[in-house]
Amino acid sequence: MKTLTLLRTLIATGFMAFSWTCPPLAYGQTQNTTPDGTQSSKLNDSTADQNKASTGAPADSGTLDKTNSKDTTNSLDKNPSTASTDSADKAGTKTPNPTTQDKAQGSNPTSSGNLSDKDFILKAAQGGMTEVELGKLAQQNGSSADVKQFGSHMVMDHSKANSELKAIAEQKGVDVPASLDPKHQAVVDRFQHLSGSAFDEAYVHTMVKDHEKDVAEFREESTQAEDPKLKTFAENTLQVIETHLSDIKSIQSKMK
């Protein structure tokens, strides 16, 4: 009898201890009512928080939408080349229109002493002085009688042409240099170190090449020069240069 009573007491005590340590789920839930009438439980919130902590994903998609509401990809979508071009435009670094710039500087290609006629005068003057200096060297360093004679003609004819060109340049207000520029002086210096047949071959080759070029330039100027005196000079000198070209080609054919 005492044993049965003791057993009942132990069973009752164990049941009460189990009830206190493991409460029913319904007893542990606290329901909250949202403004729209839906219900959520603290247990569900707790489960969502645990899932967020374990996976790293946000539990509330609404928060994610708010975070991405601002466009953070604008700087990546822009084309770098376009952006740099825009910056250059704002900074005013575009290359100015050459035509507009020339007008702003007041250049007038059709006025007296225009660039076309002036450029021809300066170029012809340098070429003429070079022909005179090389002609002098041909008389000194050349070995062929034909080369020496041709050099003599060059000194005489181009000295005369240079004087006529200088007079026209003075009337037009163009200052013609009295000495060779570095480019043409370098040509003369090269021939100073040559002599004999080596000089003849190099000199004849150079004279053929230069006179072919001179004929083309003087022929163009004889038809396009705006200054009447310069046009007449180009026409007359063209005939002399054509004779020089014929003579030097004849000398070249003998050397082959």
What domains are there in the chain, each with its CATH number? 115-255 (1.20.1260.10)
- For the stretch 89-115, pLDDT in tens is 444 444 434 443 443 333 333 333 444
In sequence order, what are the residues at sequence separation of 6 or more whose Cβ sits closer than 8 angstroms to the Cβ of residue 224? 116
Please report, rounded to a whole number, the percentage of residues in the chain having pLDDT higher than 70. Answer: 55
d(CA 220, CA 14): 126
- Report yes or no: 150 and 142 within 8 Å, Cβ to Cβ: no
Token duo for residue 84: 């740099």
Buried b (16+ CB within 10 A) or exposed e, 58-89: eeeeeeeeeeeeeeeeeeeeeeeeeeeeeeee
Report the distance separating Cα 105 and Cα 100, nearest Å: 9
Flag whether the pTM goes above 0.75. Answer: no
Q: How confident is the model over 29-87, as pLDDT tens digits?
A: 444 444 444 444 443 444 444 444 444 444 444 443 444 444 444 433 444 333 443 44
Are 221 and 231 in contact, with CB atoms under 8 Å apart?
yes
Label the pairing between strands 31-33 and 39-41. Answer: antiparallel
Quickly list H helices, 78-195: 80-91, 98-105, 115-141, 145-172, 182-192
Classified as helix, coil or strand, 32 is strand
Higher local confidence (pLDDT), 88 or 198: 198
DSSP bridge partners of 32: 40
Poorest-pLDDT segment among 50-54, 197-201, 245-249 = 50-54
| pLDDT reading at 216 higher than 70 | yes
Please give the residue that has the higher pLDDT: either 254 or 48: 254
Asked if 2 and 14 count as a contact pair (C-beta separation under 8 A), the reply is no
| Cα separation values, 91 from 81, 86, 88, 97, 98, Å | 15, 9, 5, 16, 19
Task: Report d(CA 241, CA 249) in Å as an integer.
Answer: 12
The continuous run of DSSP H or E covering 41 comes out as strand 39-41
Q: What is the pLDDT of residue 29?
A: 43
